[in-house]
A and B are shown apart, each in its own frame.
Chain A
C-alpha cells in the first residue's frame, strides 16, 4: 500500500523528528489485557523485584508498538511497513509514581528504489531501551 511520504522527498542520512511518550502502570495493564501478555513482571512490583528486576517493567512489545506508531505516523500508512525488527536492549522501568518517559528518534539509513530503511532508537533517561529497524515502502 502506498505511504503518503514520497521516496523522492527522502534522503539517506535524514533524521526524523524525535517524539516522546509517557508510559504509566495503567498503560501496561491495558496493554496486558489487549495483547494477552499477563506476565506479572509488567504489573506486580513485589513480584518483579522477587525475580531480580528493579521494578515493574514495560512489555518489550509495548515499546515496539510505540516505535511502530512513530514509524507509521511518519510513513502515513501502517500498511507500508514491510519489515520491522526491535532489539530490547534494556527494560523500561515503570515506577508507580510518575511512570517513565521514552523518546524515540530515527534516521534513514538506506534507500533502494522506493523502499527506505529506518534505524530507530527508543531511550529513557537510563539510556537506550530499544534498537529497531524498519523497511518502509514509500510511494
Chain B
C-alpha cells in the first residue's frame, strides 16, 4: 500500500533527551570494530583537542531508534518497517558529539516520492543539545520496497 503523502512536511515533537554516555560510545565503536582511542580514552581525546571522549561520525544513528522509529510507526503513514531498506544518509557535523552531551532530535518528513516500484521517504532532523546548541543535521532517505502506486 502506498505511503500517505499527507505526512510530507510533518514535524514531530522532540522526544525525551538522549544522554550520550562514554559507555555507549565505546559499545558502538566496539560493534563497528573501530579501535580508535578517542572513542574510549578521555586522555587520548583531550590530546586530540577534544574536551572529552567523542563519538564516531555515524553514532547519531542511535537517535533514529530513540525517536525516528516511533515517528515512522504511525499507522496512518502506512510504512511497513519490514519492507524498508536504507537508501541514503547524510550528517553535517557542527561539532563532534561527545560523552556527556544531552541531545534532542527534532525530525520532520521532508518528502515522500515514488520512483519505479519503490517509494522514497526523506527525513531531516536537527540534533541540538538540551541548551539549544545545534551539533548536527541529519538527512535520511529510506526506501519502501514495492509500495509505489501502480499505474493502470
Residue numbers of A with Cβ under 8 A of B are 1-2, 21, 27, 30-31, 33-37, 39-41, 47, 51-52, 57, 59-62, 64-66, 68-69, 71-73, 77-79, 81-88, 91
Given the known interface contacts A78-B36, A87-B88, the answer about A39 and B66 at a Cβ–Cβ threshold of 8 Å is no
Total number of residue pairs linking A and B with CB closer than 8 Å: 124
User: B32 and A62: CB pair below 8 A?
Assistant: yes
Q: Name the A residues within 8 Å of B57 (CB-CB).
A: 65, 68, 71-72, 78, 81, 84
Q: Once bound together, how far apart are the Cα atoms of A68 and B38, in whole Å?
A: 14
User: A81 and B93: CB pair below 8 A?
Assistant: yes
Question: How many whole Å from B54's CB to the nearest CB in chain A?
Answer: 6
Identify the closest chain B residue to A38 (Cβ). B65
Q: B15 at the A/B interface (Cβ < 8 Å)?
A: no
Besides the known contacts A34-B32, A36-B65, A52-B145, 11 further A-B residue pairs in the complex with CB atoms under 8 A apart: A2-B49, A31-B31, A31-B32, A34-B24, A35-B28, A64-B89, A72-B36, A79-B50, A83-B90, A84-B91, A86-B89
Question: How many whole Å from B7's CB to the nearest CB in chain A?
Answer: 21
Q: Once bound together, how far apart are the Cα atoms of A65 and B49, in whole Å?
A: 22
User: A33 and B33: CB pair below 8 A?
Assistant: no
User: B88 and A88: CB pair below 8 A?
Assistant: yes
Residue numbers of B with Cβ under 8 A of A are 24, 27-28, 30-34, 36, 38-39, 48-50, 54, 56-58, 61-62, 64-66, 81-93, 95-96, 145-146
Identify the closest chain B residue to A40 (Cβ). B82
Question: How many whole Å from B100's CB to the nearest CB in chain A?
Answer: 15
User: B56 and A79: CB pair below 8 A?
Assistant: no
User: B31 and A35: CB pair below 8 A?
Assistant: yes
User: A61 and B85: CB pair below 8 A?
Assistant: no
User: A30 and B38: CB pair below 8 A?
Assistant: no
Q: Name the B residues within 8 Å of A64 (CB-CB).
A: 58, 89
Q: Once bound together, how far apart are the Cα atoms of A37 and B62, in whole Å?
A: 8
User: B96 and A1: CB pair below 8 A?
Assistant: yes
User: B62 and A36: CB pair below 8 A?
Assistant: yes
6 pairs of A and B residues whose beta carbons are closest in the complex: A36-B65, A34-B31, A60-B86, A85-B90, A30-B31, A79-B96
Question: How many whole Å from A138's CB to the nearest CB in chain B?
Answer: 14
Q: Name the B residues within 8 Å of A61 (CB-CB).
A: 58, 61, 86, 89
Identify the closest chain A residue to B32 (Cβ). A65
